Amino acid sequence: MRYFTVFLVSFMSFFLTAAAFPGTGDGLLVGFKGGVNFSVVIPTKRFAVIQSLGGTGTSPAEKKYGPFFRNTGYQYGFLGMMRVRNSFLVSIEPGFGSYVMKYQAISTWYNASTQSNRIEITSNFTDKLRYFEIPLELRYELGTGMVRPFLAAGFVYGMLTGATGKAQSSTVQYINDAGYNLENNTLAGDISGNYITTRLSTFPGAGLFVEMSRIILFAEADYYFTLHNIVDESARYSNQQTVGSSYNVPDNLKLDNLVINIGVLFRINTPAGSQGKGRGKGSAVECPPINNRKH
């Protein structure tokens, strides 16, 4: 309910602002968008709970984060847009985004005298973070035709609505380098407590408007730069994931995203004298004078 309230307040504020400024060309546009995203995970500080024991050795359990093309999510939302100058458009675009990050941690305990006798635990994690987001965006059109490229820049305020994690762990014992499987475990559950509730991002982007008779289609690619660590440091060890013999605590992370959207816009008002074609330039038709002479 609170997300619907924020959505409603955001849109009403935008519409009231748009009503106060007549603008030019297209007037007020509303629409919807959706697409895919690819997450780039940037660890800024690493953490682990594994420590060496007397008479044994350990290898660091450093996480290896998956490449961006494996971290595929999605997003969808609505948008209200108005033209503020001949080539500039400003928009508010509330919606929901789901972001995925995959990573692997390998921990090894081995005999201090020889590493051919060891126990190796391999854990694969998939975390999915869901946000309610309110992007504010400024677009600059390049050209005046029916097909118009544009550059974009903006700011995103995000509120965490939930996070789930899945972990798959396998434990293998090696004796003289011969491996024997000891256990395989899978765990899935809520990990919302690992992350702070607010996420702030800025982004550059580029896209294309395609003007139709009654609608405007668009495609856009943006890159979200997260401005801070998204992990709740105060809850790092209290919310750790345990799966089999594997323990996981989150690193400090920045989560950047390549975000690709397609969408459609509808005109709900058009300033007088405008036809909404090619940046909304209007046209006038000259009428011949009426002859009032009597015959």
Residue 232 CA to residue 32 CA, distance in Å, equals: 33
Tell me the one-letter amino acid at 81. M
Residue 159 CA to residue 195 CA, distance in Å, equals: 11
Q: What percentage of the chain exceeds 70 in pLDDT?
A: 74
Max Cα separation, the chain?
122
Is the model's pLDDT at 104 over the cut of 80?
Answer: yes
Q: What's phi and psi for 138, nearest 5 deg?
A: -115, 130
Q: Which of 18, 20, 67 is nearest to 39 (CA)?
A: 67
> Strand, coil or helix: what is 232?
coil
pLDDT value at position 248?
A: 75
pLDDT value at position 57?
A: 56
pLDDT in tens, 123-178: 899 999 999 999 999 999 998 889 999 999 999 999 999 999 998 888 898 888 88
Q: What residues have CB less than 8 Å from 229, skipping those under 6 apart?
A: 44, 196, 252, 253, 254
Q: Is the entire prediction scored with pTM above 0.85?
A: no
Please give the residue that has the higher pLDDT: either 189 or 247. 189
Is the model's pLDDT at 281 over the cut of 80?
Answer: no
- The mean predicted confidence, pLDDT, of the chain is 82
Q: How does residue 288 score in pLDDT terms, banded at 50, 70 and 90?
A: very low
Tell me the one-letter amino acid at 142. L
Q: How does residue 201 score in pLDDT terms, banded at 50, 70 and 90?
A: very high
Residue 161 CA to residue 3 CA, distance in Å, equals: 9
Tell me 69's DSSP state: G
Q: Which residues of 33-70 are buried (b: 16+ CB within 10 A; e: fewer)?
A: bebebbbbbebeeebbebeeeeeeeeeebebebbebee
For strands 147-175 and 118-141, give the pairing: antiparallel
Q: How does residue 285 score in pLDDT terms, banded at 50, 70 and 90?
A: very low
CA 200 centroid distance within chain: 11
pLDDT in tens, 56-79: 555 556 789 999 999 999 999 999
Is the model's pLDDT at 275 over the cut of 60?
Answer: no
| CATH class for the domain made up of 2-282 | mainly beta
Q: What residues have CB less than 8 Å from 234, skipping those under 6 apart?
A: none
pLDDT in tens, 39-59: 999 999 988 766 555 555 555
Q: Beta strands of the chain (E only): which ranges?
A: 28-45, 56-59, 63-65, 72-83, 88-92, 95-111, 118-141, 147-175, 178-190, 198-211, 215-226, 241-243, 246-248, 252-269, 274-277, 281-282
Question: If 0-12 CB within 10 Å is exposed, 13-18 middle and 19+ buried, where does residue 223 land?
Answer: middle
Q: What residues have CB less than 8 Å from 287, skipping those under 6 apart?
A: none
